A and B are shown apart, each in its own frame.
Chain A
Amino acid sequence: MTRPWLRWLPAALVPVALAAAALAGSYQAGAATSLPHKTAEEVIAMIGRADVHSLSGTLLQSSELGLPQLPSVGPTATQGPASVIELLSGSHTARVYLDGPAKARFQVMDLLAERDLVRNGNDLWLYNSADNSAAHMTMPAEPARTAAPHATPTPGVTTPDVVAQHFLAAVGPTTDVTVGDGTTVAGHTAYQLVIKPRSTGTLVDSVTIAVDSASGLPLGVDVRARGQAAAAFSLSFTELSLSTPDAALFSFTPPPGAAVEEKATPQLRALPGKTGQAPQAKAAADRPTITGTGWDAVMALPAGTVPADVRSAPTLTQLTQPVAGGRALTTSLVTVLMLDDGRVFAGMVPLERLQSAAATK
């Protein structure tokens, strides 16, 4: 007991060591790697040539849109219309399994619950464990394809690949494309393709796509909004293996006791289980119209496409603010204007542009 302070030494050193280990781990994960130089065109061509037929991986999606955080108290918070908005804030983990163009499984992992999408051939199953309900759809028979699955994804399976294709489609004369530092995503070295719109009419500052240096598969997408340091939307793999997943994963039979519903044409573009968005067969007049091109395009939905109960959901009223003639949802990346006459305008543009688009109609 000559030097009692020595005995306190571990108590002081251990937290420091733990913090250092944690910091070193996260630093290593994002460390820059050196890759053979490639031009932006070559990287885009790599994505086009990507020939990944099967993969299994874990995805992490997070949004930082500047919306007020909804309290997530317990597993019941993810039910009802709130779950649409739930995707706008916070983070989500999902597992994705693909085997060829016709077999896919997508699992959105909620706290103590899970939403599943299983596709095997022309059969498409949706399952939601929170209320033990399943829905079955038959995909329209399609001509045999030779393309890799990333060319024509199963509806509802949101991978970085699908999101990247969406942004790559917007690459044009109004866009700057550069290649950033090499990075590592889920243990794969990757090129970073940085897409920067030149137009000042959009809220998007830049889009970063991490492209696997070996296979050309997009591994992650970060969308940055103007005037915000953190990525407003990010979707990337945290684990990825390019081997063929177990075939048993793609055979789904609804569990006993589940409420099974037969649904018509699969037209969902959303995650499974997101409210009862019944995919309605839309008449041609109900189709959204898109004005403008590229980054500052505005999508307009005619009256009647958004159900009244969704519009008046309390969580939605909480998030939107009243503007002249309706309500607006303004985030750092996307703006939605819902007019009282039922029309809805949306786009990655400031609110003023939506209002002027609404006025010209």
Chain B
Amino acid sequence: MASELSVLFRRLRTWAMLLALAAIPILIAAAVKLSSHPVAPGRGPPFLDRITQNGLFVGVTAMIVSVPLFLPLTIGVVAGDTIAGEANLGTLRYLLVAPAGRVRLLLIKYAAAAAFCLAATLTVAAAGAMAGVALFPVGPVTLLSGDTIGVGESVVRSLLIAAYIAVSLLGLSAIGLAISTFTDVPVGAMAATIVLSVVSQVADNLPQLEWLHPWLFSHYWLGFADLLRQPISWTSFGDNALLQAGYIVAAGALAYGKFTSKDVLS
């Protein structure tokens, strides 16, 4: 497990992706700081107009912006690479020569992908907080309900949001892992995972498919706003966790079926 994590986090690609994610909040903060026109309320991404008043909103805005595309993109790359990448490099059979067992390998690969989910969201949150503190005044934070909370509690809520998003991405990671067992071409698995996340989000916006919405793994992705209400509404957190758990079990079973019955030749 430790060796798997060190392999993941020693790769140049992983660091490049984390840096790109960190650039999003910095870009947002710099753009708002340098623009001469004040942002009108209700224009652009939510909370964009609040940034000038309170730097702590940079992290929240950056997370809203990165959830639909950037985070799934990086997750797709990491999760799609898990098995197919080893197969492509020809290292998969050496991993299986060790008496570790295929199920254990799957679990370790998935744990590493899940660790990346957490690292990616925390990167966005931390870079946002730092950029906001550096460029804008910091003060009490206004919640969606109109109540204000202190800086300390707002940090707690930001961490909760990061946790929510990390949990939201676990289902996608599991899907990426399952796809990865079906192919020896890592790029194919990555692309398929990312395409699935886009398809799921498009379907979530089509009112004609309303019956399907609660079953889509991206359905609760933007539900973390419920953590910015007063009092906190935990319903969407619980629903989201349950849904993602369902996807993990289903995709995990699929990955198990394919990977344990697969002839590993490379």
Which residues of chain B from 236 to 261 have any CB-CB distance to chain A below 8 Å in the complex?
A: 246, 249-250, 253-254, 256-258, 260-261
A129 in complex: contacting residue of B140, B145, B246, CB < 8 Å: B145
Smallest CB gap from B249: residue in A: A14
Quick one: given A7-B260, A71-B205, A71-B207, are A252 and B53 in contact (CB under 8 Å)?
no
Task: Say whether B250 contacts A18, CB under 8 Å.
Answer: yes
Q: Does A39 contact B (CB under 8 A)?
A: no
Give min CB distance, A252 to chain B, whole Å.
Answer: 6
Out of B207, B229, B249, name the residue touching A90 (CB < 8 Å): B207
- Interface status of B208 (Cβ within 8 A of chain A): yes
Query: Which of B145, B246, B254 makes the CB contact (< 8 A) with A127?
Result: B145
Which stretch, A110-118, A201-209, A219-227, A279-287, touches the partner chain B? Answer: A110-118
Q: Return the CB mask of A1-38 against B: 1 if under 8 Å, else 0.
A: 10010011111011100100000000000000000000
* CB pair B42 A114 closer than 8 Å: no
Are A11 and B253 in contact, CB atoms less than 8 angstroms apart?
A: yes
User: Are A132 and B140 in touch, CB under 8 angstroms?
Assistant: no
Cα distance A239–B234 when bound, in Å?
12
Q: Which residues of A contact B222 (CB under 8 A)?
A: 111-112
Contact call B41/A131, Cβ cutoff below 8 A: yes
B142, B146, B147 pick with most chain A CB within 10 angstroms: B146
Does A111 contact B142, Cβ atoms closer than 8 Å? no
B257 contacts A10, C-beta separation under 8 Å: yes
Specify which chain B residues have a CB less than 8 angstroms from the CB of A257 in the assembled complex.
50, 53, 142
Are B205 and A8 in contact, CB atoms less than 8 angstroms apart? no
Question: Contact string, A78-112, partner B, CB cutoff 8 A, digits 1/0?
Answer: 01000000000010000100000000000101011
> Given A4-B261, A258-B146, does the pair A14, B253 have CB atoms closer than 8 Å?
yes
Closest to A129 in B: B144
Task: Answer whether residue B139 sits at the interface, using C-beta atoms and an 8 A cutoff.
Answer: yes
Please name the residue on chain A nearest to B142 by beta carbon.
Answer: A255
B140-186, CB < 8 A from A: 140, 142, 144-148
Chain A residues positioned under 8 Å from B233 (CB to CB): 58, 95, 109
B101 CB to nearest A CB, Å: 13
Known contacts A90-B207, A109-B229, A130-B42; is A10 also within 8 Å of B144 by CB? no
Check if A134 is an interface residue, CB within 8 A of chain B. Answer: yes
A256 and B261 in contact, given A10-B256, A111-B225 (Cβ under 8 angstroms): no
- A68 to B, closest residue via Cβ: B207
In the assembled complex, the Cα of A133 lies from the Cα of B146 at a distance in Å of 9
Contacts A72-B205, A109-B233 given: A252-B261 contact, CB under 8 Å? no
Question: Is there a chain B Cβ closer than 8 Å to A75's Cβ?
Answer: yes
Q: Is the CB of A113 within 8 A of B144?
A: yes
A128 to chain B: closest residue by CB: B146
Number of interface residues of B (CB under 8 A): 36
Are the C-beta atoms of B46 and A75 separated by less than 8 Å? yes
Measured CB to CB, the closest approach of chain A to B181, in angstroms, equals 11
Chain B residue numbers with a CB within 8 Å of A90 are 207
A73 at interface by CB-CB < 8 Å: yes
Residues of chain B lying within 8 A (CB to CB) of residue A75? 46
Cβ of A303 under 8 Å from chain B? no
A153 interface residue (CB < 8 Å to B):
no
A4–B260 alpha-carbon span in the complex (Å): 8
B residues within 8 A CB of A252?
146-147
Chain B residues with CB under 8 Å of A113's CB are: 46, 144, 225
User: A132 and B207: CB pair below 8 A?
Assistant: no
User: Is B235 close to A, CB under 8 A?
Assistant: yes
Q: Does B86 belong to the interface (CB within 8 Å)?
A: no
Chain B neighbourhood of A114, CB < 8 A = 144-146, 229
Any A CB within 8 A of the CB of B99: no
Instruction: Please tell me if the beta carbons of B145 and A79 are within 8 angstroms of each other in the complex.
Output: no
- B64 close to A112 (CB less than 8 A): yes
Select one of A58, A255, A258 contacting B235, CB under 8 A: A58
A205 and B233 alpha carbons, distance in the complex (Å): 36
Cβ of A291 under 8 Å from chain B? no
> In the assembly, what is the distance between CA of A70 and CA of B205, in Å?
11
A69 touching B146 by the CB < 8 A rule? Answer: no
Instruction: Compute how far the CA of A127 lies from the CA of B147 in the bound complex, rounded to whole angstroms.
Output: 10
A254 sits at the interface (CB 8 A): yes
Residues of B within 8 A of A111 (CB): 222, 225
Given that A7-B256, A18-B249 are contacting pairs, would A132 and B50 also be in contact in the complex, using a CB cutoff of 8 Å?
Answer: yes
Q: How many angstroms between the C-alpha atoms of A150 and B225 in the bound complex?
A: 31
Q: Which residues from chain A contact B235 at a C-beta distance below 8 Å?
A: 58, 239
**CA gap between A7 and B42 in the complex, in Å:** 53
CA distance A11 to B49 in the complex (A): 47
A9 to B260 Cα, complex, angstroms: 12
**Can you name 5 A-B pairs with beta carbons within 8 Å?**
A79-B42, A113-B46, A116-B146, A255-B146, A256-B139
In order of increasing CB-CB distance, the 3 nearest A-B pairs are: A69-B207, A255-B142, A127-B146
